Amino acid sequence: MAFTMFGRTIRKIGVIGSGNIGPDIALHFSQNLYAYGVPVVVVDIVQAALEAGSKKAESKMAKAAEKKIFKKEVADAIFKNMLFTTDYGKIADADFVIEAAFEREDVKHKIFDQCQTSCPKTAIFASNSSHMEPEVIFQKMNDKSRCLVIHYFYPAERNILVEIVPGKDTDPALTEYLMKFYEFLGKAPIKVKSRYGYAVDPIFEGLFEATALTVEKGLATVKQADAIVQKALGMGVGPFTAHNLAGGNPITQHGLNEMHTKIMPWYRSPKILDDQVKSGKPWETAARGEVVEYTPETYEAVSNRVIGAYFGMICEIVGSGISNIGDLELAMDVGLVLKTPFAMMNKMGVKRALELVESYAKENSGFKVDEILIKQAASGQPWKIPVVFREDKAEVAIVKIRRPKVLNALNADVFEQLREVFTGIQKDPKIKGALLTGFGTRAFVSGADIGMLAAQKTPEEAEAFCLKSMAILNLIENLGKPVVCAMNGLAFGGGNEMAMSCTARIATKGQKVFVSQPEPRLGIIPGNGGTQRLPRLIGMENAWPLLRNANSISSAQAKELGLIQEEVEGDLIGAAMDWVKKILSGAVHVPGIKKDPIATPSKLPDVDIGHLSRKIDALVQRAVLEGAKMTLEEGLKLEAKIFGECLLTRDMKIGIENFLKNGPKVNAAFVHN
């Protein structure tokens, strides 16, 4: 068996190094590729390291089975798909080899020299280096076009961030393949240009340096600085605690000293870090549950300096051109799991952010204030943080919504960026069609951000809110160019409503939970066309229960009902591109959505709404039945008006508050009023 997708086949994966991260990288591969029959082989020259790595992987899968993340038989199969061995011959036929050994140039050169001698000429060679440029790692390789850095983050099987770092000789097609491959495996890959430390480690290690310097200057103790920075940046643990957990002191010491000459002079290993590495001891941080005391003045002194350093480092990276605002915002959010920098700057004001950076630079020799921050502050405008991305492939524009932490949920930024992107597509004479998709494999769009819905205060405000977002869906529907929706995962609420505004819909095959209009669970009705487009697409009898009982259907059921045109195994984006081309050529005709009134059967199916609000159900029925007698344009306006009326009910407040407090699995106690 093999994994064949995106124009390449992988039959075996090799991971070299069974230290801290190698077994976790191997485990992630096995979790995602065992079902394709792709074995994962971990090679190390130290038997004890292999035994430790094997036990670690086995333990993690046992815990995953206990927590019901995987069924026991699946967890066992994932572990058995992995081989830990000292025999390099076991990866001689590997199609993909990733090295996770010591961060030493001579070690990496020796490993890859052996690999290029024994592995297939088409094999991908990657290093999980955290700092070294690909040009350095692969300088002795005969064929550098198949070599690059793939930097994972701890813990590698769960942290979704990976940096894809091609060298100057890396084949761009390989980079593109790996971006698709890792997204398919559930990761959030970002492409970073080659530079020492790449994009993320200069922030991780730089935050440590900035925090350590506040201790050196006597502004706080290690415990205090650790707790203050954790709070100020919303981190899971403070910088000192993180280094204790990962054993990162020596790596950070070396990295900071290299960055001193390769990035900017401010980077350097602080004396307290040098002393700590020499002692081999962990930092003295707070014990679990321990409350660390500090004054408001201490908090301000430490947090202002570290936040100033954070903003300055981030802007230096964007200014250098190795990464961009959208990718860095994503990396900080899902990789380092801290408050995202550009959103923080927008919240406090970019001018205030510049003041913090300039103040930090004045106090710290060699710290750069990048021109992009100076210009942005002078503009008086907030940073634009992209969450909707457009990529043109010949005459087709690929539009992707990327908000993985909230399963691509819709908010005001998404709607506004979709409006900008699709207006641009409409006006672009080179573009003949488009496809719309979501990031990852779990969701196309999981719905609308509940906070955005909860923010509506009056019926009139809610009606206007619906009409504004409906205008973007109407733009997509009436673009004048075909738009195929590639539904890469579930589509709930606004996600399904957005998909229905497209010319055609295709979906990843085998989704058991795929489409739902769950609004009645929140004490509201659909507000982006669900009550109007769904009956027109699949018929009133089929739409009636879906709009009232809030239950989900599978992708197979969606295909049977005619909601989607195809279930796709394999490359969904490739299939969507084919659909756009077939529609453009006339090889396929997809009937447009009915714009005129539609007939309502004399008898509609009985629907058991269970615990759901009878008051809201009456509003849903009214929107569907009255809207059917109208044109689509009139029906959409009616839906928006009735959505506004939900604010007059007690059940909307109950439903929204229940969701925000308890999540989607706890039923709201509606009072039907």
List the catalytic residues.
497, 519
HSE-CB of 534 using CA atoms within 13 angstroms: 31
Residue type, 410: L
Tokens of 126: 């990657």
HSE-CB of 403 using CA atoms within 13 angstroms: 22
CA distance 342 to 328: 9
- Paired strand residues for 41: 14, 83
> Under a CB-based contact definition with an 8 Å cutoff, are residues 192 and 164 in contact?
yes
CA distance 386 to 413: 8
Kindly state the greatest CA–CA separation across the chain.
84
> Under a CB-based contact definition with an 8 Å cutoff, are residues 25 and 100 in contact?
yes
Cis before residue 429, ω within 30 degrees of 0?
no
Q: What is the 3 state secondary structure string of 620-635?
A: HHHHHHHHHCCCHHHH
> Under a CB-based contact definition with an 8 Å cutoff, are residues 258 and 196 in contact?
yes
Angle at 463 between CA 531 and CA 647, to 5 degrees: 90
> Under a CB-based contact definition with an 8 Å cutoff, are residues 434 and 425 in contact?
yes
Per-position DSSP letters for 129-140, written without gaps between them: -SS--HHHHTTT
CA distance 663 to 446: 14
> Under a CB-based contact definition with an 8 Å cutoff, are residues 518 and 550 in contact?
yes
Query: For the chain, what is the radius of gyration of the CA atoms?
Result: 27
b/e sequence 555-579, b meaning 16+ C-beta within 10 Å: bbbbbebebbbbbbeebbbebbbbb
User: Where do we find the tokens 């994503």?
Assistant: 330
